[in-house]
Chain A
């Protein structure tokens, strides 16, 4: 059975709502004092984790197509990419508004002392132009350079990992899991590229 335009519209709405659920849980938890002893950290890490998870999902769509021949996952590429940006923006917003309390003095003091925060900011700056040019209109206008620009996502994946590795205190289990996933997804692309070239 092939799905029509209408079906896909409904499926997209369902995926959209599912993707918003982590946001809903975290905000609900914050309002109801259910985020434990350090709610700012819980929000901050929660949004950061989900940005990274959506990045993994987004990076998995092309390899799924390559390996299985299924093309429908590609329909969700834009949405997944924008959710990466959504959660990364919230992650940054929690840092600036809640952790630093919008204090320029705190920003000036704390950010330069933290290589991992600088790496996080760099990652956000890499995501920003992709989010801005994510519309169909921009895609058309930029033509081939749109594709080049959006290859920035590979760089952002790597800087996000470095950001994570640099912040943890000794136990690298979590960033290693993400490194394995992102490494694998980028690795598949390299293998495919080499085969096509060779």
Chain B
């Protein structure tokens, strides 16, 4: 049953998108060509930092959403609740140098430079569908490494049942943090077994290049079977803990946003249905697609929640 669901992801509606994309690709190619004729050096810059990264396991065979769309439609409340404004405002964030503080129930706590983390964790490409709690989705070729591999290197103790992530707090630049829309800094978390699942990754890039600031540079979480707000951006702190962390959206509206936040078409948000999603980049006449349980990754992750009533543990 679950395998059948998976097959549907790969086949349905991709043809339509491919046709759509090919039109955009044509426009892009034409633009690139004309730009290339004027400035031949541009072609090399286009290649990107991670152009030759190998494709990792679990990467879906899905047509990626237009890069422009992914880079101009971001929920980044640290900058603005407006998806376009946050894109522009995020340019002001300095992401180099960057370090991550590791604390809590762990044998190797400390402050780690991002470059050192990247040396230990070679990156790969993972094409995942990204499903927002606002009922839209896109397909992104992330560049990153398995979260579990990194966490293991810090040697969490047996007391560590959860891992908590914190976004940088910098209200000078992140003007959205000056208002009390959420309780800053943004905090997210996973149960240890969720964090160790090979589908969960730490992303440092997308589309063969570094992450744009608005998409969470320089280091963000990607948990493809959960709603997008779980995939916290610009991480500066990782804490291992015995107790379930209090996460940002859950704190602000506990009845609307749970700790687990698994994509689930059967459980609506208190204010809207989650049965369908708008696929970004498709034409305005394309109907929404049916949302899949665990965003289509049920075969891989449903076991993590066996025995749990998912209508209660939202």
Contact = CB atoms under 8 A, between A and B. Distances in A.
Q: Do A and B bind each other?
A: yes
Interface of A: 30, 36-41, 43, 98-99, 101, 103, 106, 109-110, 113-117, 166-167, 169-171, 173
B272 A171 contact: no
Interface class of chain A by DSSP: helix
Interface stretch (B38-46, B52-60, B69-77): B69-77
Given A114-B272, A170-B81, A38 B278 contact: yes
A38 B280 contact: yes
B278 A113 contact: no
A169 B134 contact: yes
A46 B136 CA distance: 18
Interface in B107-133: none
Given A36-B73, A37-B65, 17 more contacts: A30-B284, A36-B69, A37-B73, A37-B83, A38-B136, A40-B278, A40-B284, A98-B285, A101-B285, A106-B276, A110-B272, A110-B275, A113-B272, A113-B273, A115-B271, A170-B182, A171-B181
9 contacts: A37-B73, A37-B83, A38-B136, A98-B285, A101-B285, A106-B287, A109-B275, A116-B272, A170-B77
Nearest to B280: A37
Contacts of B276: 106, 109-110
Nearest to B274: A113
B253 to A, nearest CB: 7
A171 B285 CA distance: 30
Given A110-B273, A113-B272, A116-B271, A103 B287 contact: yes
Interface string B256-282: 000000000000100111011010110
Nearest to B285: A98
Scoring B65, B70, B181, B284 by chain A CB atoms within 10 A of each residue's CB, the highest score goes to: B284
B288 interface: yes
A93 to B, nearest CB: 12
Contacts of A37: 65-66, 68-70, 72-73, 83, 138, 280-281
Contacts of B273: 109-110, 113-114
Contacts of A109: 273, 275-276
A66 to B, nearest CB: 36
Contacts of A41: 136, 278
Contacts of A99: 278, 288
Contacts of B136: 38, 41
B280 to A, nearest CB: 5
B252 interface: yes
A170 B181 contact: yes
A72 B281 CA distance: 47
Contact of B284 (A43, A103, A117, A171): A43
Given A110-B276, A169-B81, A171-B81, A39 B284 contact: yes
B250 interface: no
